[in-house]
Amino acid sequence: MIAQFAFASLTRRPLRTALTALGIAIAVGSTVVFLSLGEGLRQAFDTGLAGLGPDIQVSYGVFDTTSLSSVPQLPQRYLGAIEEEAEAYGISAITPVLLYLRGSLAAATAFMFYGIPEDTDLGRLYRDYTIVEGRDLAPARVERGDDGRVPVVGPAVVGEQTAQRGGIAVGDVLRLNPSAAFEVVGIAVADGGLLDNAILVPLEPLQAALGAEDRLSFLTLELDDPSTAGSTAEALREAYPELGFQTRSDLSSVFERAVRISDVVRLGISAIALIVGGIAVANTMLMSVFERTREFGVVRAVGARPRFLMGLVLFEAMVLALVGALAGIAVGYVGALAVNQYALDLIGLDVAAVTPRLVAFAVAVAGGVGLLSGLLPAARAARVPIAVAVARE
């Protein structure tokens, strides 16, 4: 009976119903778009990055999300020091890495240079590493002496996505700075997202080009038994207190923490939209309770309990909120697609994802908003005295 009554009330005032649901739809839609960003990053991390990466990563000082973009700080002597003790710690391979982000206002010309020894077994660093065109990094010599002005100091292997995005082909020359350039000798693909945005170059020429001969961004350690990563990192921390040792799970928690923080920010922004949507529903319901005072009095006179009217108004508010939520999820989905279209061009990554749990969250939040915003009008409705039904108009 409540459903029938609510349905009749909502459908006989279609414009008002539609406008209120629209308010909720916009609120939920923007929430979905905002939150889908975090979901997309998580998904990219889970499918691409999580299984990759070293057993232990060694950095200078504590590793956090800013470490990747900061200048190389790790003195190269630690490479030799740890190499000497590799056997004692059960370390099977050590790779020194120098990261250099060549920023640019135009996304297509912003590159991540990834300096590693040219004889590194890249299959170990990147799952399913395959050269699709040209050759591998080794040998580190190139024929070309310069590109006309800038000396070419070594070869480069470019991730396929980066190549497509930047229109890079084998034989091209990439300028790092006015005194060094790399010749593209190969295009590679690998599972996960890391290689997509990377330009692999030999370590030493990169160090030289950056004037950072004895500096690294970090070391990556592979262990004989990866399951001992936690205890090995602990032992290394004691031996080298000035260094940071991050296991794979440390890294993912750093990442997770960063995404969480951005979740909170995005939730905060969405909350404003949701509150506004909730107020719209509450306002509509209050108005409609006020308009129907007499009708509600009549329904009470006929024999409905106060709770019936309370339930009716809450139900109507919930229906409005949920219809709005469904429309909002559709809007959010389209919005996330648009964001991805843009982000794919920009950084080659699907940053937004409308996951089932996000949909469930949106529906739950809309339900909560409906319930909350319906409470006051519902309490009003329950207090409508029967006398108004019989009062003179």
Partner 1 sequence: MLRASGLRKTYVTPAGDVHALRSFDHAFEPGKVTAVLGPSGSGKSPLLNLLAGFDVPSAGEVWLGDVAINRLPERERSGLRLRSFGFVFQSFNLVTVFSALQNVALPLGLAGVPRAERDERARETLERVGLLHRADHLPHKLSGGERQRVALARALANDPAVVFADEPTGSLDSANGALVLSALEQVALDGRTVVLVTHDVALAGRAHSRLRLLDGRLDSVDHGGATVPEAGLQDAALTGPAPTADRAVPLTSR
Contact set with partner 1 (CB under 8 A): 1, 4-5, 8-9, 12-13, 294-295, 298-306, 308, 386-387, 389-390, 393
Our CB check for partner 1 shows the closer of 198 and 304 to be: 304
Min dist. Cβ of residue 310 to partner 1 (A): 13
Our CB check for partner 1 shows the closer of 277 and 311 to be: 311
Residues in the chain: 393
Phi and psi (nearest 5°) for 119?
-90, 10
Our CB check for partner 1 shows the closer of 212 and 382 to be: 382
3-state helix, strand, coil in the chain (%, to 5): 60, 20, 25
Our CB check for partner 1 shows the closer of 296 and 333 to be: 296
Instruction: Tell me the three state secondary structure of residue 116.
Output: strand
Our CB check for partner 1 shows the closer of 13 and 175 to be: 13
Comparing C-alpha atoms, which of 144, 212, 141 is closest to residue 177?
212
Min dist. Cβ of residue 303 to partner 1 (A): 2
Min dist. Cβ of residue 15 to partner 1 (A): 14
CA distance 380 to 375: 9
Min dist. Cβ of residue 6 to partner 1 (A): 10
Min dist. Cβ of residue 320 to partner 1 (A): 15
CA distance 138 to 42: 34
Comparing C-alpha atoms, which of 41, 4, 43, 30 is closest to residue 366?
30
Our CB check for partner 1 shows the closer of 102 and 294 to be: 294
Min dist. Cβ of residue 284 to partner 1 (A): 15
CA distance 288 to 20: 12
CA distance 278 to 360: 18
What DSSP letter does each residue of 205-225 carry, written as one string?
A: HHHHHHT-TTEESEEEEEESS
ω before 139 within 30° of 0 (cis)?
yes
Min dist. Cβ of residue 49 to partner 1 (A): 55
Our CB check for partner 1 shows the closer of 191 and 295 to be: 295
CA distance 285 to 295: 14
Neighbours of 228 (CB within 10 A): 17
Beta bridge partners of 223: 91
